[in-house]
Amino acid sequence: MGLVGILMTASFKDINWDDLSEAIPAFFTGIFMSFCYSISDGIAAGFIFYCIVKICRKQIKDIHPIVWGCTALFIINFALLSFI
């Protein structure tokens, strides 16, 4: 398990930390993967925070419809899992 974490954090150096629309989703993806022990939860967090950042920066047109669909499904998944 430690090797996977090392490999994951090694790729953080390739992230453009000056671009918030790339840095914030990448950060939360890594944090959610680490704390939830779930790659899928981390990817879901990345999709959700990507949309949130784009909405806050008023760049809604830059979000592809497939990303909107995946984000909606991830939110529905989290909502349903909270009731189970």
List the alpha helices (DSSP H) in the chain: 2-10, 20-36, 39-56, 65-83
pLDDT digits (tens, 9 = 90+) for 28-83: 998 888 888 888 999 999 999 999 999 999 999 999 999 999 999 999 999 999 98
Q: Which domain holds residue 15?
A: 2-83
Within 8 A by CB and 6+ apart from 78, the residues are 44
**What pTM does this model have?**
0.85
Number of domains comprising the chain? 1
